[in-house]
Amino acid sequence: MASSIPDEVMMNAALIKELADVAKDEALLQGVLMRTKETPNSSELVTYAPFTLFPSPVPKPVFHQALAVQTHFNTMVDKISQDTDFLQEALTSTIEVDDFTARLFKIHQQILKEGKSQSIVLGLNRSDYMLDQKDEKTSSLKQIEINTIAASFGGLSSRTPDVHRHILKVCGRLEESRQILANNPAAGLARALAKAWELYASERAVVLFLVEEVQRNIFDHRYIESELWKRNIPSVRKRFDEVYEKGSLDPDKRLFVDGKEVAVVYFRDGYMPQNYINEQCWDVRLMMERSRAVKCPDISTHLAGTKKVQQVLTRPGVLERFFPERPEVVQQIRATFAGLYTLDVGPEGDNTVAMALAEPDRFVLKPQREGGGNNIYGSEIVRVLGAVKESTERTAYILMDKINPAPVQNYLLRRDAPLVISNCLSELGVFGAYVRQGEHMVMNECVGHLLRTKSSEHEDGGVAAGVAVLDNPLLV
């Protein structure tokens, strides 16, 4: 099995233990940090964010393919967000049965009715991929999803390269250590935030990070906040309830929170139903959306990131709608699409049901949710889909081909887990950042990457869900 663990280390338990201790200290030194489960809202006790002891091999061509297509995904998301008819058509069946998407959609419709009060658009997204490696020789890059709201780990992944460089040096692998790629998504994300703030053109206005109740991953945000402060751009952190208490719109729809004008709202919350603990949260989302502040993302860009939209995009002719004069772009984007299938009521959806029930292990059943741990696999597909197959409820889901990367051996370093070798699967994320003002794209960039690795015994779940850990690609 592939791995980048040096042979002399592989069989030496004492050495592994020693290296793990060195790695944890280096992670703390480099600021790869997280608050603890026990005290998630205090920095009195912090620990290392979970990570792999060694980087994981990633084939060079697919890595570059993922970077190269990112600006096109930025453009695509931005175009979708402006195509009212497309969003309406794509999401009609979903919003009939999925309350969360329906509520987001209702805000979207209200904004359309009132007219947008801000022409500056800021998109910070992360397109995630796995490698389809069903047979030994081929590695095909397949998009798992694109996150258009609260895409995380741009901060911490800016600090992990030095940890793996250090570990490889300690193992005497100087050459490999040099091959660990530079990566600084935090700087790129902050650059886009700063650009939007500048265009808003009000020196005392702040960037508001809308944050969750539980803030274990605060350091990931802090890197971006720091980058803003370095530019003398003030940032504040507020929860929904705080904005409800202290926020308001003035007659020009300028958003004020705690007496400060808000230039940009950066959502690191609000991406899943549990984030809206009461009606007041929805009131706040609507108020922000109506405001003149730049929203990252705005409501239509949030909707553009739904799994239903992802499925509709794979239908013939749909990408062409967004890139009518660019067949080469269409081809580049489409090459990353896995098979995605509708569960809408009708013969096509019936066909999807039959296919999934016949071979459930070939697929993943996905609801319109974010944050990891929501997808359905294997025999559960038979149970869940079996129960809803005759009703419109099935349209809350989409079906996707399951991607099968070749497992790689590594050690996952996590505070509450024993130090054992694991068969691991990795997911590559690519960060995109863009700023548009009216018709004019002011910035459109690929700003870095993220490798997350999990034990192959887990089908689902990200770093925040406690399953995956941070990693770095070692290009092979």
Catalytic residue list: 126, 145, 147, 152, 307, 366, 370-371, 452
Candidate list 165, 216, 290, 402; residue touching ligand ADP; CB under 6 A: 402
**Is 66 or 120 the residue whose CB approaches ligand ADP more closely?**
66
Q: Is 22 annotated as a binding residue?
A: no
Would you count residue 403 as binding ligand ADP (CB under 6 A)? yes
Q: Render 191-240 in DSSP notation, one character per residue.
A: HHHHHHHHHHT-TT-EEEEE--SS-TTHHHHHHHHHHHHHTT--EEEE-H
Q: Does 471 bind ligand ADP (CB under 6 A)?
A: no
Applying CB under 6 A, which of residues 26, 98, 128, 212 lies at the interface with ligand ADP? 128
Distance between CA atoms of residues 401 and 127, nearest Å = 17
Q: By CB under 6 A, what part of segment 351-370 binds ligand ADP?
A: 364, 366, 369-370
| 132: contact with ligand ADP by CB under 6 A | no
The residues that touch Mg ion, with contacts defined as CB under 5 A, are 145, 147, 370
CB 461 to ligand ADP: min, Å = 6
267: region left, alpha or beta (phi > 0 left; psi from -120 to 50 alpha): beta
SS3 27: helix
CA 56 to each of CA 9, 118, 161, 305: distance values in angstroms, whole numbers, following the listed order: 15, 43, 12, 28
Distance of closest approach, residue 416 Cβ to Mg ion, in angstroms:
22
Please report how close the Cβ of residue 69 comes to ligand ADP at its closest, in angstroms. 17
Instruction: Identify the bridge partners of residue 295 per DSSP, sorted by sequence position.
Output: 265
Of 248-307, binders to ligand ADP (CB under 6 A) are none
Rounded-to-integer distance, Cα 198 and Cα 207, Å: 11
Give the residue, chosen from 400, 408, 413, 433, that forms a contact with ligand ADP under the rule CB under 6 A: 400
* Max Cα–Cα distance, the chain, nearest Å: 69
Contact of 181 with 171, CB cutoff 8 Å: no
Residue 24 DSSP class: H
Pairwise CA distance, residues 459 & 145, whole Å: 15
Q: Where are the alpha helices (DSSP H) in 378-452?
A: 378-388
Q: Which of residues 317-346 bind ligand ADP (CB under 6 A)?
A: 338
Q: How far is it, in rounded angstroms, from Cα 268 to Cα 289?
A: 15
Residue 427's binding partner among Mg ion, ligand ADP, none (Cβ under 5 to 8 angstroms by kind) is ligand ADP
With contacts defined by CB under 6 A, name the span among 36-44, 293-301, 313-321, 398-406 that binds ligand ADP.
398-406
Q: Minimum Å distance from CB 301 to Mg ion?
A: 14
Give the number of residues in contact with ligand ADP, rule: CB under 6 A.
Answer: 20
Is 460 assigned a ligand-binding role in the annotation?
yes
| Residues in contact with ligand ADP by the rule CB under 6 A | 128, 130, 144-145, 338, 364, 366, 369-372, 374-375, 400-403, 427, 460, 462
